[in-house]
Structure 1
Amino acid sequence: MTESYFWPVVMLVALMAGLFTGFPVAFVLAGVGIVLALLADIPLVFLSTAVARIYSGILTNWLLIAIPLFVFMGLMMERSGVAERLLGSLASLFRSLPGGYAFAVAILGVAMGASTGIIGASVVLMGMIALPTMLQNRYDPRIATGLIASTGTLGILLPPSIMLIVLGDQLRVPIGDLFIGAIGPGLLLSGLFLLYLIAVAILQPHRMPPRPEGRTTDRSALVVRLLKDLVAPVLLILSVLGTIIAGVATPTEAAAIGALGALVLAFLSGSLDFETLRSSLRQTTKTTAMIVFVMIGATVFSVIFRRLGGDAMVADAFAHIGESPYVVLLAVMALIFVIGFFLEWVEIVLVVVPIVAPVVMALDFGMDPEQTLAWFAIALAVNLQISFLTPPFGYALFYLRGIAPEVPIGTIYRGIVPFVLLQVLAVLLVIVFPQISLGLASYLGR
């Protein structure tokens, strides 16, 4: 380590120490930045740079209005009863198959992920309505908990995703392009989950036995009921993604359409009352405030970190890894994967990504810079999804443990191992085959 990199290293060490104290992340980021600026004799007037960036990049950034709108949409969808009805229809349709209920949960995870995007809500909701039934039907607890935790995290990748909004804002990539680009990897990951369930159902059917036969129901009637239950989420997805892909609305405008649509669906389902509206607005405010405050703290930290030469330090570190751009990219992904064991996606996107993005942009992958950024962003999003499942701070695991205290935490940890490996495989496939994330946008002429 050269002497010129002393202060950047001190900043990183101080940041990690501050995060492990349990103090709010936003204040840790801003506090470390300001204290190190004083210790390193940076003129106080330089801090006005951070203030200007906070104002122009956060407080007046109209793209970020989509965050509270999508959060509200997800919360209202959770309370509308769509998930319970859809799971019931899917489970009845697949009742006679080994692993039938697991297939129903996997499909529900895709539908909920594409219509809510709220990880905590998806995991808790599916855990409450699906886990007891799976355990009562003698499902292997590792399969049941791993499946619910992993499919519940699809909402952070499938559009509309809050993470994609923040990631696009940080990398200056159009949010609509990221939404379109995430569809392929999201379906790829969902397909890998389903293939794994099919393999277990064939090779180890005792781990996912078929449900006991109840009263006989006409299969055509089940299909009709399933289609009726799919109407609400499909309409909501089309109202958001369809307007973006068609170029009719910007992501922020589409978020407003989605929020209004979720409100109407909650009203039509009879689940909309004053208490539901109040709690949804309160949770929306809390979630949005948390993200915005972390963005403010991260802006202060990154401005000081760059001023002290932190970006040059990171560039030098990756320059010693090798000359192959793919080796460097894999090193970046490995670093973020490890950091995901300890930090949330918000901190990684706001602190780590702005530091490593210039390193990736300097590499030659044989595509134009806009495509490189979009491809990197989607691969990064798939990688960040894993952070919800990796101990010790995998939030999806904590959500599931909170609603299922009878399941040992060790069982939950072992249950997510195959799904984490599948997600790592998905990251590698997106890197090796860029068209998984870029193909649909190219086809649509974006």
Structure 2
Amino acid sequence: MPFNEILAIFMFLAFIGLIFSGYPIAWVLGGLAILFSAVGIITETNFGVYTGIDWAYTSLAVDRTWDIMQNWVMVALPMFVYMGLMLDRSGLAEELLHNVARLFGRVRGGMAVTITLIGILLAASTGIIGASVVLLALLGMPVMLKQGYQKELACGTVCSVGTLGILIPPSIMLVLMADRLAISVGDLFMGALLPGVMLGVLYVVFILGVALVKPQVAPAPEDAEPITLALIGRVFLAVLLPVGLILAVLGTIFFGVATPTEASGVGAFLATVLALAKRRLDRKVFREVLRQTTKTTAFIFAIFLGATAYSLVLRGLGGDALIADALHSLPFGPTGTVICILAVTFLLGFFLDWVEITLIVLPLVAPVVVSLGFDLVWFTVMFAVCLQTSFLTPPVGFALFYMKGVAPAGINVGHIYRGVIPFIIIQLIGLGVVFGWEELVTTLPRIANEIASGVPR
């Protein structure tokens, strides 16, 4: 095996190993890029052994960094983060939970269904996983436990529904994926919408099914309020605001009125207006939202820059060609190769965060998938669905940590781990549906592009 490929293998293994060191991921990625650049340059300069890395090649990192920082698509990222944080402060979720819970009060499992429906709305209007899980846990867990819900079902519902924000647009993960693969953010948004909603529907079906088979797991409250026209009216008004925001952001993208970057600005503005209208916005809240937006954006961009340098050096050492040759040599055919990639991605999700997998693994495997004749948007959405499980799989499932941090007394790690297992299985079933039904992903982007170009369907 050539020496440059040996270095590429060691570089990837070093990244996997240092993940568990506790050092910030951005510094790990950037540090490995510097270290293996130095090894490659010294080896090739002093010993005449080809590595593919020299001073001229490493200088490309400056150009790549500049390209990232002047990319207008990335402006959408802090805007969507701001929109999610501002909506979290607006009190919209509390009002939704209060009214929708009354509507499903007489149904077994009704509170868990309410949490799921509100989680879908939060996902389509905020996209911040930590905020969604914490908010749903604080609002829903005490009520479900008071009604006698099984602890595992309550924990699993909150954790899994909270992760929908990483898939249902507007999603910062989809923005990063689009940038890494140089594809349309709008196409990814439209492609991920139906699979994300489908997962939410599968959650509801599972909850209602469990409640039907085992009524003691998710009982209906004894003092449920009867359904009246006044109650339906209150629910309609409560849902109207978030749905209006979703339509303002996604609708303008779908009909070609605005780009995703422009739509993110619309969403940020409307979120501020909503918080102001509900009298939840003051100088302190505004300052906190701006500070948290800056910290979150800086964290993501630091990893982005480190991953750019790491990927550049790994490609220089021939790592991309090595992975491509390994995938092409698999004896499973094109479909089997895609299944193998998704299986490895699922396993990596046990140990790596979605950011590292998106920035390091996805750009390496996507060209192979395209060369096999598959649609890139379809594969990327499948990759995103697969990565959603990384929030629920221990030991680094962040939704589990968020849940444990705010869980009521009597909830332990065992309840949380056991609770998410059925929902991980549901996510894998959803992944199988997307895999076997490509039109679920490709239909909306095709219609949106036809509308934007004026071509009749």
What's the offset of the Cα at 1:211? 1.2
Q: 1:166 aligns with which of 176, 181, 192?
A: 176
Q: How many residues align?
A: 438
The question of whether the paired residues in 1 share the 8 Å contact of 2:199 and 2:427 is answered with yes
What's the offset of the Cα at 1:2? 5.7
What's the offset of the Cα at 1:39? 1.1
The equivalent residue for 1:100 is 110
Question: Normalising to structure 2: TM-score of the pair?
Answer: 0.94
Q: Deviations over 1:189-236 (max 9, x none)?
A: 11111110111111111100001215x455211110000101110111
* Alpha-carbon distance in 1 for matches of 2:332, 2:38: 37
Unaligned runs of 5+ in 2: 42-52, 451-457
In the TM superposition, what are the counterparts of 1:223-234 in structure 2 within 5 Å?
A: 223-234=232-243
The equivalent residue for 1:389 is 392
Matched, 1:138 2:141: no
Q: 1:428 aligns with which of 428, 432, 443?
A: 432
CA-based RMSD of the aligned residues comes to: 1.2
The question of whether the paired residues in 1 share the 8 Å contact of 2:255 and 2:448 is answered with no
Specify the code of the residue in structure 1 equivalent to 2:387.
Answer: L
Q: Deviations over 1:1-28 (max 9, x none)?
A: 6655210111012112222111111111
The equivalent residue for 2:26 is 26
Matched, 1:73 2:83: yes
The equivalent residue for 1:340 is 349
Q: 2:402 aligns with which of 399, 402, 407?
A: 399
In the TM superposition, what are the counterparts of 1:312-351 in structure 2 within 5 Å?
A: 312-351=321-360
The equivalent residue for 1:414 is 418
* Alpha-carbon distance in 2 for matches of 1:159, 1:150: 16
The question of whether the paired residues in 1 share the 8 Å contact of 2:29 and 2:309 is answered with yes
Q: Deviations over 1:80-129 (max 9, x none)?
A: 11101111111111111111111111100101100100000000000000
Unaligned runs of 5+ in 1: 366-371
In the TM superposition, what are the counterparts of 1:297-376 in structure 2 within 5 Å?
A: 297-365=306-374, 372-376=375-379
What's the offset of the Cα at 1:45? 3.1
The equivalent residue for 1:250 is 259
Specify the code of the residue in structure 2 equivalent to 1:399.
Answer: Y
Q: Deviations over 1:371-408 (max 9, x none)?
A: x1110111111111111010000000000000016311
Specify the code of the residue in structure 2 equivalent to 1:333.
Answer: L
**Partner SS for 1:40:** helix
Specify the code of the residue in structure 1 equivalent to 2:103.
Answer: L
The equivalent residue for 2:49 is none
The equivalent residue for 1:441 is 445
What's the offset of the Cα at 1:44? 2.6
The equivalent residue for 2:100 is 90
* Alpha-carbon distance in 1 for matches of 2:226, 2:157: 27
Q: 1:377 aligns with which of 375, 380, 389?
A: 380
* Alpha-carbon distance in 2 for matches of 1:186, 1:316: 33
**Partner SS for 2:391:** coil
* Alpha-carbon distance in 2 for matches of 1:47, 1:341: 32
* Alpha-carbon distance in 2 for matches of 1:23, 1:397: 21
* Alpha-carbon distance in 2 for matches of 1:35, 1:338: 27
Specify the code of the residue in structure 2 equivalent to 1:222.
Answer: L
What's the offset of the Cα at 1:242? 0.8
The equivalent residue for 2:453 is none
* Alpha-carbon distance in 2 for matches of 1:312, 1:46: 17
**Partner SS for 1:364:** coil
* Alpha-carbon distance in 1 for matches of 2:252, 2:187: 13
Q: 2:122 aligns with which of 100, 112, 121?
A: 112
Q: Deviations over 1:152-182 (max 9, x none)?
A: 0111111111001001111111001111111
What's the offset of the Cα at 1:130? 0.4
What's the offset of the Cα at 1:323? 4.8
Q: Deviations over 1:272-318 (max 9, x none)?
A: 01111011000000010011111100010011001101011101221
* Alpha-carbon distance in 2 for matches of 1:119, 1:247: 28
The equivalent residue for 1:11 is 11
* Percent of aligned positions that are identical: 44
**Partner SS for 2:106:** coil
**Partner SS for 2:392:** coil
The question of whether the paired residues in 1 share the 8 Å contact of 2:211 and 2:218 is answered with yes
